[in-house]
Amino acid sequence: MGAIRSVEGGPLRRTARGAGRVLRAPFTAAARGVRRATHAHGAGESGLGKLIELHAVNSAGDMLITVALASTVFFSVPTDQARGRVALYLAVTMAPFTLLAPVIGPLLDRLPHGRRAAMAGAMLTRALLALTMSGAVATGGLELYPAALGVLVASKAYGVVRSAVVPRLLPPRISLVKANSRVTLGGLLATGVAAPLGAGLHTIGPEFPLYGAFVVFILGTVLSFSLPHKVDSAKGEARARLVSGEPSAYRRTPAPGGKNGAKRWKASRKGSKKSSKKNGNKKNRPPGLRTVGSSVLHALQANSALRMLSGFLTFFLAFLLRVHPLGGLSPAFSLGVVAVAAGGGNALGTAIGALLRSRGPEKTIALVLTVSLGTAVVAAVFYGPFFVVVVAAVAGISQALGKQSLDSLIQRDVPEAVRTSAFARSETLLQMSWVVGGAIGILLPLNGTLGMAVAAAVLALGAATAVRGLLAAARRGSPHPRVA
């Protein structure tokens, strides 16, 4: 009887295993393809590949929360009420954020040995807040806004630590711009997958995208601890030191060998301390953004203009196209076309950044700001559906390339001991620029030509303050061509 069972059961089991392999094949092949892409060019050995995967999970969770909030704050009410709700959302979440954001950088600077834990904490915080928001998202009550603020702060804290971690996981053959581009591209691809998934979950119920976000962020909490241990190591970190207003750094290197070498090392340390006291730096204060060098300052000015453009277009076009759709299309389809153009432009800009070799980030920022200004001027003069889509696409490309180049400049020119604070302050400035642009978009009359003219004026102001300085800084070169 046992022999009969083995004869009959063997083929059945083999058939079931074969069917299982056939069903799993597309998913396993896709997983292997993603792993090969994220771990290419030494990224797997350095740990950058794991950071790319973690950032993809982070972006997917943020998108699920965005879908849930957009359906409640924007799409569920008429245009006039939606403008009021969006304005309330910006006021309630962004006003406290301006007070909390400057604390993020100095707080994280005190955790050089706990960067993985900080990223995991940001993930876990958003997972718990997503569950909290699931009870309020259906009604749109005011209790939704404090939770949304918490999600925003946790998301920015993760972004600050992630940006500061990239140089520690940089493979020898990949530049900072390319590494930042690969991390961002992983996030964009995950966002593209999560957006339709969130829309599908929303059809089941308004709270289901938040349940999905909870699961995603729990996964991110676990993945945070899979990053290499060198992320938490303080070995090789630089102490901030200012000379003639420009940043420099020295490493915590061991004393040179030999008795005389140790004496020379101690003497140099003592001389450095005397010099700092003589210059009135007794408390060894870290430099602020005004002392990080002209390249970073002008890059911040340019990126603020680009981020203001992004916020302006996000809200102005969202309301404009609900009232005046593109070329006879439905409002929903018009919004979808513009969203795809902006998202596609962002992805294209990220891909271009990944292909850049030794191009200077200062020149890249100056170029994209100038191109954005020219496009906005043309759209204001020849306003029409085509130019609306073009402006959205160019804005996406410019923002992606500009942000990657800014991150590279901070990673290159700012000493590591204060780099986290520099990222936190720059993120705060860019977030506030986005909010200012969004507020202008909400308040402006829904006239397309007027809107494009305002966008051009914003970019013109940014170009006037930043482009000349960026090109001059690019000619001078960097005293820190590669920062570990």
Tens digits of residue pLDDT in 50-101: 899 999 999 999 999 988 887 666 555 566 666 776 777 777 666 666 666 6
Query: Once rounded to an integer, what is the mean pLDDT over residues 208-229?
Result: 92
Model confidence band, residue 239 (pLDDT cutoffs 50, 70, 90): very low
- Distance CA(101)–CA(120), nearest Å, equals 19
Query: Once rounded to an integer, what is the mean pLDDT over residues 178-189?
Result: 83
Name which of 168, 187, 179, 151 is nearest 227 in CA terms: 168
Higher pLDDT, 386 or 323: 386
Determine the pLDDT at residue 29.
Answer: 47
% of the chain residues with pLDDT over 90: 21
Measured CA distances, 154 to 180, 194, 435 (Å): 20, 19, 18
Indicate the range of 169-183, 216-230, 271-285, 330-344 predicted with least confidence. 271-285
Q: How many CB atoms lie within 10 A of CB 47?
A: 21
Q: Specify the amino acid at residue 100.
A: L
Indicate the range of 228-237, 420-429, 448-457 predicted with least confidence. 228-237
- Distance CA(38)–CA(48), nearest Å, equals 8
Query: Once rounded to an integer, what is the mean pLDDT over residues 194-199?
Result: 89
Query: Once rounded to an integer, what is the mean pLDDT over residues 442-454?
Result: 90
User: Strands, DSSP E only, in 310-448?
Assistant: none
pLDDT(450) > 90: yes
Determine the pLDDT at residue 156.
Answer: 81
Determine the pLDDT at residue 61.
Answer: 93
Q: Specify the amino acid at residue 93.
A: T
Kindly report the pTM of this predicted structure.
0.70
Indicate the range of 8-17, 68-77, 141-150, 255-264 predicted with least confidence. 255-264
Determine the pLDDT at residue 393.
Answer: 94
Q: How many CB atoms lie within 10 A of CB 293?
A: 24
Tens digits of residue pLDDT in 101-112? 666 666 666 665
Name the 3-class secondary structure at 266.
helix
Query: Once rounded to an integer, what is the mean pLDDT over residues 287-301?
Result: 72
- Please, are residues 337 and 326 in contact by the beta-carbon 8 Å criterion? yes
- Please, are residues 400 and 349 in contact by the beta-carbon 8 Å criterion? yes
Model confidence band, residue 42 (pLDDT cutoffs 50, 70, 90): low
- Distance CA(90)–CA(87), nearest Å, equals 5
Tens digits of residue pLDDT in 299-313? 999 999 999 999 899
Tens digits of residue pLDDT in 351-403? 887 776 556 788 889 999 999 999 999 999 999 889 999 999 999 999 989 98
Residue linked to tokens 């079931």: 16
Measured CA distances, 360 to 4, 130, 295, 404, 414 (Å): 74, 40, 11, 12, 16
Number of residues that this document lists for the chain: 484
Name which of 2, 79, 63 is nearest 346 in CA terms: 63
Determine the pLDDT at residue 7.
Answer: 45
Higher pLDDT, 36 or 259: 36
pLDDT(262) > 70: no
Token pair recorded at residue 313: 């277009």
Burial-class residue 351 by CB neighbours within 10 Å (0-12, 13-18, 19+).
middle
DSSP characters over 324-339: S-STT--HHHHHHHHH
The alpha carbon of residue 150 and the mean position of all alpha carbons in its chain are separated, in whole angstroms, by: 17
Query: Once rounded to an integer, what is the mean pLDDT over residues 181-202?
Result: 87
Determine the pLDDT at residue 210.
Answer: 92
% of the chain residues with pLDDT over 70: 67
pLDDT(457) > 60: yes
Residues 6+ apart with CB under 8 A from 319: 79, 82, 83, 441, 442, 446
